[in-house]
Structure 1
Amino acid sequence: MITRKNTILSFLTMLLMSSCSWLDVAPSNEVNEDDLDLRNALNGIYLKLGATALYGSNLSYGFIEVLGHQYLPEYMETTSTYYKASEFKYDDADVKSVISNLWSNGYNGIASCNHLIQMVSEAGPTDFQELEMEKNLIHGEALALRALFHFDILRTFAPSMEADDGKAYMPYVDLYPVISTTYYPNVEILKKIENDLIKARDLVAMCDVKEHPEWMETQCRMFAKGINSELPKDVFFAYRGYRMNYYAITALLARVYMWEKEYKKAYDMAMEVIEAKIDDSKFFGFVEHTSLKEDMKDSESILFTLSRVTLEEEYRPYTDTNSKTRFWFNKTDIFEDSQEDKRASSAMVEAAGDVYYSKKYLIAEGTNDYDMIPILRLSEMYYIIAEYAARTNDFTTAANALETVCSARGMISKTFNFVSLENFLDELVKEVRKELIGEGQLYFLYKRLDRKSFADDVKFVFDRPENEDI
């Protein structure tokens, strides 16, 4: 069990970092010390995941987007880490440092998950304020986070299944403390990830599906608002969109199955998310395209987001004219010439001469969405069902799925007429570039499909750090 001193320090750190988000979990008088320890341990893992070495920058708008050539490298100084990364110079000392931090921070997060899983497994239901429901929730979220950490290490340090050579690239660590490690090939790692997610889904279902489905509605899930009688009395259970909730885990399973080339299983998971509802009201949808200016990240469509309160100030330098590294892009190259697409409007992108940058992370502190780093969203689920349909030669369903997202973004007249799987995949890549800009998924799509035409000398497998301490 973590010490009382560390608990207090952890708790104060969280209060300083987030005065109005789900991390502000001020304990009631009824929460016992052990329960607070476990809550803070869980919150600490989310903070690790949102650090700059991971989704706070490198796995969202930063390093991984540079690798996917989402930005124009000519607006980065040739000596900068990001420019060298855009040329896939993985042997460069600066690039090596970023890659090494992905590995070490990933396994550090996994160690924290394993410690928490061990602690919660040893605790009884009466050790928790909300008894079995809370025990299951913390246990399930920790398992899901462990799976996410492993999956992102797999996506970066191992080949895709399209290029799989059967070699062992990484360990799957599920014990604390670590005594020894065994390296596994892709197939075995993916099976372990799948098993963790299935177990996690079953555990959190008690809260999110059986007892409190109303907490998954957008206003409660993202902003802890709604009808008072339906809101959780304890803020620890609010903001389920900032946590590995049941549908976020289901969506992550869909993403994992796509990587695994289990397309029908991915489709089934994606459909469960799309169709999730309470009474006749769906949990997830798209904000009206006319409202994107006020809700740039489309909170209605977010399944899981991380919170980083310093996001705007950390992202802004990459948009400044005088910066050494600018995340600028050719708007026509990404958004084509659509006059309807609100993602290309002045509400979403800003001109810097003849080029543009995304305003997605330039939301003023205190405004809705300002701290959100979207990790999983509804549009990806539509892309998954579209790809499954295309792979079964159902191009009408594939077109309808892509058109659903396009229509939500203002492209009411957009239609697709696919004639082959390759034709569909070409269009899918274009849509992901538009929809998920700054969210770190483009490079992984290229890698999953083994598409190398977007960049000369592209490298899809990171060099394993020389110091592999985990």
Structure 2
Amino acid sequence: MNQYLNKIALSILIAFSAVSCSNFLDVVPKDKILESQIFENEAGMQNVHNGLYVMLASDELYGRQLTMDAVDILGQQYNMPASHTKTKMATYAYAEANPKKVFTDIWQKAFTTVLSANKFLESLDEHSGIVSQEKANLLKGETIAIRAMLHFDMLRLFGPIYKVDPSMPAIPYYDAPVTANNPILSAKDAMSKILADIDAALALLEKDPILTTGKYKATTDYDSNPYYSQNRGMRMNYLAVKCLKARVLLYAGDKTGAATVANEVIAFTKSTPFFPWTPFLDATNAANPDRIFSSENFFALSDYTLYKTQEDLFDSKLAEPMIYAPLLNRLTAVFESNDNDYRSLPSWKIPVVGGKTQKTFFKYADVPETKMVFRMQIPMFKLSEMYLIAAETTPVPADGIALLNTLRYNRGLTNLGATAVLATEITKEYRKEFMGEGQLFFYYKRNNTTAIPNGSTTSGNITMGPLQYVVPLPDAEINFQ
């Protein structure tokens, strides 16, 4: 990684400024920007902090590859026949040119963002006094949580199958703005650092406004500056970090810890009106459907290029070798031939243009009403996942079925019977719930699932193991270790 970390270090402040300080760049040459100038006031500090979220929404990260593109291809969500441009990705041919470039770009962008986060934390400490301690705590807490989340997703993607052997080499961990390569840690050691960062973030965010006023409403606290209290649901807030902790603990095999955290989040939602299940009429609204179930999302990422990505991947006018779409019988099997499921009909439809006979993906398509709060949002952490984690980790299967039935009821489905097999039903819900969100592949990898449905054939499975689940580290990382 050294060959590009040095370049990042030299340009990091320029990159921040390019994101949100264009007026500043108009009058100061790029190579003369000084950190002290950017951090000389609160507005500049906020601009740099907001730049982290812009980076998260990039195509290489959650704006595309880690949600609806590469990672969902690995999860066999789409039909990728031999003629398709991404068939090498769908067959786990990681050494081929296209997959290799995609995953190198993901790695580099992730650690560029980590370095940016670390530089922000360092600069925030060096320029203490610009903002109050309460504001600094929010900024630090969010930033440390972003760092933890990125490391965790690099661990899930490039690390070993944790359930099999967490002592195997995985990824480096960067908790300071260094430009030299840090050593590759074992998956277990990287996990320890991720959890330490999560706990540090939670301590800093314990007075998060989202806990008292919800995810959109601004408060009169923080000098009435809306940056700190408005739209908390679009930031790595306290509840989002709790969800991240539950996800991480479950991946690490700590079912007791994951259950505790997931149930804490569920209990909180029952005690406040801030995170209700999305009603049927909102989810299936003929004109403006809320396909992402926005009321349930603890953190959704704003992506102002989302509809361009929707067109690039899922538009019905795309030629067959380019469109990301499932085989109809595979999609029908996922939803068990039930279009009453709120996740089915609004997001998956046979289009009226483009000449396609299979259903195409509309989850991220725009809606006519531009004032809808869910526009241009990608779900990152949501209530349904907490129910799934709680169901998976309960020691009483009947309690797990009851949790699944709550989720199913709020997706328009009937209750499961007493003879339902909990693990099987959880897998079914993961396949339905996280389309376009990049979680299914990681669910399979976490459980070391040995065979998964082949998205490019009408029947049959793909045998899975380390060669499929473990993406090789980029050459640049290996060569400079």
Instruction: State TM-score, norm by structure 2.
Output: 0.83
Decide which of 80, 83, 92 is 1:77's aligned counterpart.
83
Take 1:450 and 1:69, find their aligned partners in 2: how far apart are those partners?
15
Residue by residue over 1:342-386, the C-alpha shift from the partner in whole angstroms, topping out at 9 and shown as x without a partner, is: 2222x3321155421221100248352221011111100000000
The answer to whether structure 1 residue 127 and structure 2 residue 135 are counterparts is: no
The answer for the alignment partner of 1:43 in structure 2 is 50
1:9 CA displacement: 3.9
1:180 CA displacement: 4.3
Query: Residues 312 and 364 of structure 1 are in contact (CA less than 8 Å); yes or no, is this contact kept in structure 2?
Result: no
Amino acid at match of 1:395: P
Take 1:288 and 1:180, find their aligned partners in 2: how far apart are those partners?
49
The answer for the alignment partner of 2:365 in structure 1 is 362
1:35 CA displacement: 2.3
Take 2:388 and 2:463, find their aligned partners in 1: how far apart are those partners?
28
1:444 CA displacement: 0.4
The answer to whether structure 1 residue 173 and structure 2 residue 165 are counterparts is: no
Take 1:300 and 1:168, find their aligned partners in 2: how far apart are those partners?
39
1:446 CA displacement: 0.4
CA RMSD of aligned residues (A): 2.7
Query: Residues 300 and 380 of structure 2 are in contact (CA less than 8 Å); yes or no, is this contact kept in structure 1?
Result: yes
Q: What SS class does the counterpart of residue 169 from structure 1 fall into?
A: coil
Query: Residues 136 and 206 of structure 1 are in contact (CA less than 8 Å); yes or no, is this contact kept in structure 2?
Result: no
The answer to whether structure 1 residue 267 and structure 2 residue 259 are counterparts is: yes
The answer for the alignment partner of 1:327 in structure 2 is 324
Residue by residue over 1:318-344, the C-alpha shift from the partner in whole angstroms, topping out at 9 and shown as x without a partner, is: 232433322212331221122431222
Within 5 A, what are the aligned runs for 1:25-424?
33-74=40-81, 77-78=83-84, 80=85, 82-124=86-128, 126-128=129-131, 131-164=132-165, 166-208=167-209, 213-215=211-213, 217-220=214-217, 233-237=224-228, 238-276=230-268, 280-292=271-283, 293=285, 294-319=289-314, 320-323=316-319, 324-329=321-326, 330=328, 331-345=331-345, 347-352=346-351, 353-364=356-367, 366-368=370-372, 369-389=374-394, 392=395, 394-411=396-413, 413-418=414-419, 423-424=421-422
1:441 CA displacement: 0.4
The answer for the alignment partner of 2:451 in structure 1 is 453
Amino acid at match of 1:119: S
Take 1:261 and 1:89, find their aligned partners in 2: how far apart are those partners?
29
Q: What SS class does the counterpart of residue 94 from structure 1 fall into?
A: helix
Identity percentage over the alignment? 26
Take 1:56 and 1:63, find their aligned partners in 2: how far apart are those partners?
11
1:286 CA displacement: 1.0
Instruction: State TM-score, norm by structure 1.
Output: 0.85
Query: Residues 386 and 398 of structure 1 are in contact (CA less than 8 Å); yes or no, is this contact kept in structure 2?
Result: yes
Count of residues in correspondence between the two structures? 430
1:429 CA displacement: 1.4
Task: Tell me: CA distance 1:73–1:5, structure 2 relative to 1, closer, same or farther (3 Å).
Answer: closer
Query: Residues 418 and 424 of structure 1 are in contact (CA less than 8 Å); yes or no, is this contact kept in structure 2?
Result: no
Point out where structure 1 has 5 or more consecutive residues left out of the alignment: 15-30
1:127 CA displacement: 1.4
Take 1:3 and 1:106, find their aligned partners in 2: how far apart are those partners?
14
The answer for the alignment partner of 1:27 in structure 2 is none
Amino acid at match of 2:291: M
Take 1:32 and 1:318, find their aligned partners in 2: how far apart are those partners?
39
